[in-house]
Amino acid sequence: MSETNAFQWPAGKRMAVSLSFDDARISQVDVGIPVLDRHGAKGTFYVAFSRLEERLAGWRAAAAAGHEIANHSLRHACSANFVWGARNVLENYTLEQMESELVEASRQIESLFGVAPRTFAYPCGQDFVGRGLERRSYVPVVAKHFLAGRGFRDEYLNAPTICDLAKVGGTEMDGLDFDGLLGILNRAMDKGFWVVLAGHEVGDRGSQCTRVDALDRLCAYCADPANGIWLDTVANIAAYVKANRSEP
């Protein structure tokens, strides 16, 4: 491990992993959470209000069991270039509008679950509002209101000594088999990095789907003490990183 990336994870662990899932998909409650629970693993779930009510009792049970319920914005605004969201696009937002929506989403989550969300996931991994000369990053807004913000399909893993907690790299796990996931962990192990995996559906096949067999094997691998991996929620690991490093 290089001097630049030297970091002491708890209990002699060599690296950290978080499993995160977006949009409150039904399969996360019906399939994914039982897999995590079987291994004693805790996940982070960035919920979309349009789907939350379909399994609200299940989400409340997950929160009570220690899984993290977190903020994914109020309206899931992405770029106008995604034509499925053409009525609600980041190019038409201001920073003030985005901040208002994030605050309201947190208020609603706290009302439903009794705990204010500590982390946020950028919808579509995009962190801007406006266009052209008026385009602005809303990462500072996330930094103001959350312990951490997670990206999506980022090219980097997270060096705990220097990573920006307001824009933590998120690595897609949808569609990967266990060997593919293990390859990502191996990239991080020697450097002592933090891997934040991001998925959507949980099942055997389909679009935006984390493979249930791969998830099951990954949880077992992370739970084996011989592998030196700390598997925990985004909030818990972000809080440890913040408390145990010198500010970059």
Q: Which two tokens stand for residue 31?
A: 């399939």
Specify the pTM.
Answer: 0.95
Domain ranges of the chain: 17-243
Average pLDDT, the chain: 95
Instruction: For CA atoms 58, 60, 63, 65, give the dihedral sign.
Output: negative
pLDDT tens string 49-75: 988 999 999 999 999 999 999 999 999
Yes or no: say if 227 and 221 are a contact pair by the CB < 8 Å rule. yes
pLDDT at position 220 is 98
pLDDT band for 32, please (50, 70, 90 cuts).
very high
CATH match for 17-243 among 3.20.20.70, 3.20.20.370, 3.30.830.10, 2.40.30.170: 3.20.20.370
Partners of 211 in the beta sheet? 203
pLDDT tens string 103-126: 999 999 999 999 999 999 999 999
pLDDT at position 67 is 98
CA pair distance 165, 107, nearest whole angstrom: 22
Question: For the chain, what percent of residues have pLDDT higher than 90?
Answer: 91
Q: Which residues contact 85 (CB under 8 A, 6 or more apart)?
A: 76, 77, 78, 79
Q: Is the pLDDT of residue 85 over 70?
A: no
